[in-house]
């Protein structure tokens, strides 16, 4: 049994645990173990036999026991039992169709249905109402949901989760990621892939992440993940690969406006045949006219201006974060831990900030010429004042302003509170201005037009935050800032070393807002940023 076989079994086990309603943590532990096994160069079966598998980080005693069973018997008994019990395809379909998974499983049991095709056939034949508790309304709902087929799911995946899913599928099918994910949409409702490889459709249909297959013909397969997220693979012959990639990437309105697409092996050639310059995928939401702007790139970013450490709710020390930032090729990093008013996590008052300064000075000595900046993510208090005394604010090199409470205040009150705080002379940047959490909390009522006016007056920059469930400012608001001439900052708000990698997410958001490197403050050298 090689590492790929073991990883595949662990993935299937994780998916079934998820379907069976196991806790989030155990599902995640098995998913991580699968990734770990896949990435381990040594044969994991050998490590299991010699009792050394726990040396791999993230393999605990529970997972070790399952691995031993798998390596010695070739199977995991509980996995087989789960396969008999949970009917993954029906649970996934339930989530996808917006019908309670338990309900759909009960219905499937009553009628002997196990697949999407059988469900469709039964619904079309009017057989669903033979099941207890199913009336014409449910039957109509199932039919309508199945017919909707190609429409996006209501809730979307955040970009990092969509990227993880898509790269797994893309690797298995030698495919290129297209669709919303390639366009950089903040939530992904459908994962779309294009592959020119032989047998890609078969590999896609057999992949453990594709729990239920909804459609399949010679050119395309579509299915659903455990979470009910639609996934789709288009098989394109090499001579038409560029055409299909272009078609699968753009939003419907954008693609339709191009007219009939000529056949070409690459996207560049397809555009050339249309007589158009290649357009960055982030701009393919709606019909585009004119010359594409030269959008900002991750490589243009010289430093990250918002991150946390163990001084507040971060997981790494000042030195660890700074070293990781330097290793990513940056020239500077601003440490912006919370202030006391935030309450739910530890906050730093003036004394603690001055003690942190010593640690920052030591890191600077060690990492020079790299620069660690003394910063803060300073809360706006209920009365509109800043959560630190003026003397310590004046010592800091980078002050992020943040509203963490009062998210539901009425528009005028909220806008007044934020714009008043922006006028404080120490403030350099407004963090996550709309305070939204994707899939969870709507944006606040802040008037962006007023904020832009005050930003122009005061020189305060606006952040587009890289946390995958924030991405705030969002794309359209970045565009307003760019048009107004207000500098945008792409920062990750990292709470760990890995969090620094989310720079690609906020840069993508800035690109969707048509920002060029000139529009993004942290593409500039430090001297220009500190000069105000
Ligand atoms: Zn914050
Ligand atoms: Zn923060």
Dump pLDDT digits (tens) for 370-391: 999 999 999 999 988 999 999 9
Ligand 1 centroid to Cα of residue 184, in Å, is: 23
Which ligand ends up closest to the CA of 308? Answer: 2
Contacts (Cβ under 8 Å, ≥6 apart) of 425: none
Ligand 1 centroid to Cα of residue 306, in Å, is: 9
φ, ψ (nearest 5 deg) of residue 106: -60, -45
Ligand 1 centroid to Cα of residue 19, in Å, is: 34
Angle at 457 between CA 432 and CA 478, to 5 degrees: 35
Report the Cα–Cα distance between both ends of the chain, in Å, rounded: 62
Residue 280 CA: distances (Å) to CA of 26, 267, 271, 277, 480: 39, 11, 12, 10, 19
pLDDT in tens, the chain (532 residues): 899 889 889 988 888 888 777 777 888 899 889 888 988 888 999 999 999 998 887 788 899 999 999 999 999 998 888 877 777 778 778 877 777 777 777 888 888 888 888 888 888 888 888 888 788 887 888 888 777 654 545 568 899 989 999 999 999 999 999 999 999 999 999 999 999 999 999 999 999 889 888 889 999 999 988 778 899 999 999 999 999 999 999 999 999 999 999 999 999 999 999 999 999 999 999 999 999 999 999 999 999 999 999 999 999 999 999 999 999 999 999 999 999 998 888 899 999 999 999 999 999 999 999 999 999 999 999 988 999 999 999 999 999 999 998 888 999 999 999 999 999 999 999 999 999 999 888 899 999 999 999 999 999 999 999 999 999 999 999 999 999 999 999 999 999 999 999 999 999 999 999 999 999 999 999 999 997 6
Which ligand ends up closest to the CA of 491? Answer: 2
Predicted local distance difference test score (pLDDT) of residue 134: 82
Ligand 2 centroid to Cα of residue 408, in Å, is: 19
Residue 22 CA: distances (Å) to CA of 15, 26, 29, 78, 449: 10, 7, 11, 13, 46
Which ligand ends up closest to the CA of 375? Answer: 2
Predicted local distance difference test score (pLDDT) of residue 293: 95
Ligand 1 centroid to Cα of residue 174, in Å, is: 39
Ligand 2 centroid to Cα of residue 517, in Å, is: 23
Which ligand ends up closest to the CA of 313? Answer: 2
Ligand 1 centroid to Cα of residue 285, in Å, is: 29
Ligand 1 centroid to Cα of residue 377, in Å, is: 7
Both tokens assigned to 369: 């010429």
Which ligand ends up closest to the CA of 431? Answer: 1
Ligand 1 centroid to Cα of residue 506, in Å, is: 15
Which ligand ends up closest to the CA of 472? Answer: 1
Which ligand ends up closest to the CA of 492? Answer: 2
Closest by CA position to 386, among listed 420, 437, 345, 348 = 420
The neighbour count for residue 319, using CB atoms within 10 Å, is 16
Ligand 1 centroid to Cα of residue 398, in Å, is: 15
Predicted local distance difference test score (pLDDT) of residue 8: 86
pTM: 0.83
């Amino acid at each position: 049994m090689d590492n790929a076989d073991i990883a595949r079994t662990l993935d299937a086990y994780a998916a079934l645990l998820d379907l069976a309603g196991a806790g989030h943590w155990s599902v995640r532990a098995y998913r991580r173990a699968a990734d770990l096994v896949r990435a381990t160069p040594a044969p994991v079966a050998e490590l299991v036999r010699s009792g050394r598998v726990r040396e791999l980080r993230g393999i605990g005693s529970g997972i070790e026991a399952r691995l031993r069973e798998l390596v010695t018997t070739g199977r995991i008994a509980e996995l087989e039992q789960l396969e008999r019990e949970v009917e993954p395809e029906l649970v996934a379909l339930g989530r996808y169709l917006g019908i309670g998974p338990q309900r759909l499983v009960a219905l499937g049991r009553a009628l002997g249905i196990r697949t999407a095709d059988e469900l469709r056939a039964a619904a079309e034949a009017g057989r669903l109402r033979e099941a207890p508790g199913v009336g014409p309304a449910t039957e109509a709902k199932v039919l309508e949901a199945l017919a909707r087929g190609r429409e996006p799911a209501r809730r979307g995946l955040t970009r990092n989760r969509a990227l993880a899913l898509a790269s797994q599928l893309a690797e298995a099918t030698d495919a290129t990621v297209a669709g919303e994910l390639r366009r950089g949409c903040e939530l992904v409702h459908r994962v779309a892939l294009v592959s020119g490889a032989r047998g890609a459709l078969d590999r896609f249909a057999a992949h453990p992440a594709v729990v239920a297959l909804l459609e399949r013909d010679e050119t395309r397969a579509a299915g659903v993940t455990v979470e009910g997220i639609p996934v789709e693979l288009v098989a394109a012959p090499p001579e038409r690969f560029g055409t299909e990639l272009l078609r699968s990437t753009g939003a419907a309105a954008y693609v339709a406006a191009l007219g009939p697409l000529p056949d070409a092996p690459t996207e560049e050639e397809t555009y050339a045949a249309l007589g158009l310059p290649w357009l960055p995928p982030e701009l393919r939401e709606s019909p585009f006219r004119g010359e594409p702007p030269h959008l900002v790139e991750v490589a243009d970013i010289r430093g990250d201006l918002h991150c946390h450490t163990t001084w507040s709710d971060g997981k790494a020390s000042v030195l660890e974060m700074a070293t990781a930032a330097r290793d990513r090729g940056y020239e500077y990093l601003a440490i912006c831990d919370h202030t006391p008013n935030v309450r739910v996590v530890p906050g730093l008052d003036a004394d603690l900030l001055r003690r942190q300064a010593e640690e920052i000075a030591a890191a600077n000595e060690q990492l020079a010429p790299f620069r660690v900046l003394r910063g803060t993510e300073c809360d706006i208090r209920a009365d509109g004042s800043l959560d630190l005394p003026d003397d310590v604010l004046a010592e800091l090199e980078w002050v992020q302003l943040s509203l963490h409470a009062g998210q539901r205040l009425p528009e005028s009150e909220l806008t007044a509170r934020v714009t008043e705080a922006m006028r404080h002379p120490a403030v350099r940047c407004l963090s996550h201005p709309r305070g939204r959490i994707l899939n969870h909390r709507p944006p606040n009522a802040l008037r962006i037009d007023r904020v832009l006016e005050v930003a122009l007056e005061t020189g305060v920059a606006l952040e587009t935050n890289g946390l995958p469930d924030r991405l705030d400012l969002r794309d359209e608001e970045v565009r307003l800032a760019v048009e107004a001439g207000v500098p945008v900052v792409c920062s990750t708000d990292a709470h760990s070393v890995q969090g620094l990698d989310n720079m690609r997410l906020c840069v993508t958001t800035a690109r969707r807002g048509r920002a060029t490197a000139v529009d993004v403050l942290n593409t500039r050298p430090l001297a220009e940023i500190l000069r105000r």
